[in-house]
Amino acid sequence: MFQLIPSDTKYDFLGKRRTAALLSLAVILAGLVAIPLRGVRTGIDFAGGTEVQLAFPEGSAVDEGALRGALAGARLEGADVIRFGGGDSREFLVRFPGELPAASEGEEGAAPGAEVPAAPGELSPDVREARMKAVETALEAKLGPLDVARVEFVGPRVGAELRRDGLLSLVLSWVVILGYVGFRFSLRYGPGAVVALVHDVLVTASIWVLLGREFDLQVLAALLTIIGFSVNDTIVIFDRIRENLTLRTRRELEEVVNRSINETLSRTLLTSGTVLLACLALDLLGGPVIRPFSLAMTIGVIAGSYSTVYIAAPVMIWLEERFGSLPAKA
C-alpha cells in the first residue's frame, strides 16, 4: 500500500496539544468577539428574501454591472447578482432581502380580489406575480429580451424555522455520533470525538464570521459534511489506539496514542489531501454559486484533520487517565 509518510515516524504530536488547544481557543474567541462588532450575516434561506434566476438569449452583452444598474432602476438597489458558469454565461442569479418592490410608490399592498397572504407581512401570490411582471418589464426595457427561469421567496417565519432546524440537525448529529462511538469503542472514547466535532463547527463558523460571509443552507450542508468527514478520521485513529493498547499494554498511554497517530498519519494526509484538492478546485473553478459550500468545506477539512490529532486524542487520554480502566502506566 502506498504510504506518503512511513508508519515508523515518531513525531511527538501530543507534546504540542496545549499549544494547539490555545490556538483553537484563540480562533473561536476571535469569532465570538467579531459577532457583536461585525454581526452575523445570514442568507435568504435563514433571514428571508427573494431569489430570481434570469436567462438572456444568445448574443446578449449583459454583464453583472449592467444588470445591477437595471435592477436599481427597477427599485432593487443593492441586490446580489451572481453569474452562473463562466464569463460568457448569460444566466444570472439575483438575490435581495424582503419582498419584490411595488411597481410605483402609490401601489397598495394587495390588488382587488387578490388572495389573502399566507402569513402576516407577506404578499399574496397574485400581488407577487404582478410585481415580478413589472420588474421583468423594466429589465426588458433596458437590457432586451430575457426569461425568468424561477422565482423563490422565503418568508421570515420559514427562515426562522430553517435556522432552528439547522441548529437541531447539528446537535442531533453530535448526539448520534456520541452514541455510536460509545457503542463501537467505549463511553470514554465518545466525548473526545464529539468535542472534536464541536470544535470543527465552531472553528469553521468563527472563521466564516471573521470573513464576513453569509450563513445559508449551503454552509449548513458543509458543516454537516465536515462532521461526517471528521468523525471518520477520528474513528480510524481510535481503532488503531485500541489495537495498540491490546498489543502494547506495558507502554504509557500517551506513548501508545502518539504511536497510533504516527502510524495512521499517512492515511490521514492522503484522505484529507485528496478532499482538500477537490475543495480547492471547486473554490477556484466552481464559480460563485458553489463557492460558499466549497470554501466552508476547505476550512472544515483542515480543522477536522487538525482536531482529530490535537483535540479528540487528548480528550480521550484525559478521560482514560481519570475515569478509565487503563491508568497512565499499565
**CA separation for the pair 17, 80 (Å, rounded):** 43
- Which of 154, 176, 191 lies at the terminal end of a domain, its last residue? 154
Is position 3 within any domain? Answer: no
The CATH number that applies at residue 237 is 1.20.1640.10
The predicted pLDDT at position 264 comes to: 85
Choose the most confident range, by mean pLDDT, from 16-20, 203-207, 281-285, 326-330. Answer: 203-207
This prediction's pTM: 0.80
141 and 171 in a single domain? The answer is no
Residues 112 and 203 in one domain: no
Classify 51 as helix, strand or coil. strand
| pLDDT greater than 80 at residue 137 | yes
Q: Which residue intervals of 214-289 are DSSP H helices?
A: 217-247, 253-263, 265-285
Per the structure, the complete domain to which residue 118 belongs is given by 49-154
Q: Is the pLDDT of residue 71 over 90?
A: no
In whole angstroms, what is the distance from residue 79 CA to residue 52 CA? 11
> What's the domain count of the chain?
2
Q: What confidence tier does 198 reach under pLDDT thresholds 50, 70, 90?
A: very high
Tell whether 85 and 167 lie within a shared domain. Answer: no
Q: Which of 31-35, 109-113, 155-159, 239-243 has the lowest mean pLDDT?
A: 109-113
pLDDT given at position 122: 67
140 and 55 inside one domain: yes
Beta-strand runs (E) in 56-209: 80-83, 91-96, 147-154
Alpha carbon dihedral 273, 186, 196, 246, in 10-degree steps, equals -50
User: Is position 249 within any domain?
Assistant: yes
Same domain as 228, residue 89: no
Same domain, 168 and 190: yes
Please report, for residues 175, 231, 273, the alpha-carbon distance to residue 236 in angstroms, rounded to integers and kept in the order given: 19, 9, 16
**Is residue 187 in a domain?**
yes
